[in-house]
Amino acid sequence: MSSEQLSEILLASDCESALLEAIETGEMDSLVPELLLLSMEQDPIHRHKDVLAHTIAVVSKTDPEITVRLGALFHDIGKPKTRSFEHGGVTFRHHEVVGSRMARKRLEKLGYPENVIEEVVELVRLSGRFKGYIDGWSDSAVRRYARDAGPLLGKLNHLIRCDCTTRNEVKARGIQEAMDDLERRIAALAEEDRQAAERPGLDGTAVMEHLNIEPGPDVAEALSYLLEIKRTEGDLDSKELRIRLDAWWALRNQESSKQ
């Protein structure tokens, strides 16, 4: 099958040489003909890097895992279709979205399993999202990035790190440090969200005010009760929680009076 041919090339111990050989022999013409269109200068006005050479370099830097390698192979595949020159510069607007559609069509023709296709399509679609991070992301933007990536977050971040092929050491270091920072923020926000999920719908002060009690074991028991409600029923509004709290408090006092 064609998918097996392409996977063998991408997972070769020296995939850079394997890719170059497949291109030179014409094998890639039948496997991924769109790839050859990347043999262009990204910006011929300023003679910036060849997109095909960049793509091969990115693929060879990634871990030998098929979805990541396919994601790297297709991450810039939409550039020829979206290249535009404006005011002496070059743009590739929405090339990731266009590329993700192209990747789906090609991978389906090659006969890849649906789960592999879906992962690769998402990696290509999200591959350019990180570029805006250096402009400053809010916590909600970081959460959205992590949420959109879902289980592909690790693979996506790895692909983005490998997408940096510049020889400018300062620029390369800056990109890696920015990704380090993003990953730290994702972890910190995930922990913050986990802790928030473990907090009951009313805090200790609200419990004491509502039940007219002082700090102590009763407050701790009330909070444990409210936390159990959250774990089993999700977030309820404060009015409902106070009704539940009243019922719990009355039953607790009733049981205490019987002892």
Asked if residues 196 and 231 have their Cβ atoms less than 8 Å apart, the reply is: no
Contacts (Cβ under 8 Å, ≥6 apart) of 128: 95, 96
Average pLDDT on 96-111 reads: 95
In whole angstroms, what is the distance from residue 24 CA to residue 96 CA? 27
For tokens 């089993």, what's the residue?
Answer: 232
- Tell me the pLDDT band of 258, cut-offs 50, 70 and 90: low
pLDDT the model gives residue 50: 82
- Tell me the pLDDT band of 24, cut-offs 50, 70 and 90: very high
- Tell me the pLDDT band of 91, cut-offs 50, 70 and 90: low
pLDDT the model gives residue 135: 83
How much is the mean pLDDT over the chain?
89
**Domain parsing of the chain, residue ranges:** 1-127, 130-197, 204-258
Q: Percentage of residues in the chain with pLDDT exceeding 70? A: 91
Average pLDDT on 231-253 reads: 88
Record the tokens describing residue 87, joined without a space.
């005011």
Question: Using one digit for the tens of pLDDT, what is the confidence trace for 167-216?
Answer: 889 999 999 999 999 999 999 999 988 877 778 888 889 999 999 999 88
Does the pLDDT of residue 63 top 60, yes or no? yes
Kindly calculate the radius of gyration of the chain based on its CA atoms and give it in whole angstroms.
Answer: 27
Does the pLDDT of residue 18 top 70, yes or no? yes
pLDDT the model gives residue 66: 97
pLDDT the model gives residue 43: 45
- Please state the pTM of the whole predicted model: 0.75
- Tell me the pLDDT band of 48, cut-offs 50, 70 and 90: very low
In whole angstroms, what is the distance from residue 160 CA to residue 126 CA? 10
Does the pLDDT of residue 82 top 70, yes or no? no
DSSP-assigned beta bridge partners for residue 204: none
For tokens 């550039």, what's the residue?
Answer: 79
